[in-house]
Structure 1
């Protein structure tokens, strides 16, 4: 009889991928590549990129870079004076995840605002871990300089 020690048993939970990392680490490219490979849709978790405008300043993913992949919570708030709170983020992400899963796609949450991600995953009322299997990818980049 085979042993299951060390092997993960399948769950009925939906899958969610998180891509985190510092500015310039390649989060956008990886999220789009994964979405293309595994039929995913991307949820923005950058607290500045939720606002319309400022595309160059915030390095917001362009239409061309999106390669036809649907992006949620990206440039959808008109008023830059409006405060988009952690609670707002958690509420909108839960709706986006349900919508993505209902379309038989995989939610990929990507961005640099780790406080948003931490709140989403750790907030007891949401109980995120009980509902979803999560894969966290943390990107690091090294700067190379000629001296």
Structure 2
């Protein structure tokens, strides 16, 4: 890898990290209100209340965590009354994670705060679409 490419890659990685760090900072009031960490909030966020409840395995894949870590996070979220785990309606060997009404309220508050307070919140729609496309395609380029 050439020096110029390495420099550009470093700039891109630091910019991505900075956006994540600043978004986490912006979410701090909601995280504190609901007693969440950034990691447990991420798990809560990925449970779309308008989609089928994800399995524990799916949650592990989406959060890039081990199944054991997802189990630990689910215990924390269950203890706060934000999620429940139930047998999957399609495969009784698996468990799915469902939001409780309190969990939905917490998720809504986190999504709303991220939507208004993230460094990406005020970027115009076309630039935001391009950022999402570039970052969304990056994992597929791994060798």
Q: TM-score, normalised by structure 2?
A: 0.26
Structure with larger RCO (C-alpha < 8 A, sep 6+): 1
Which has the larger strand fraction? 1
Which has the larger helix fraction? 2
Q: TM-score, normalised by structure 1?
A: 0.26
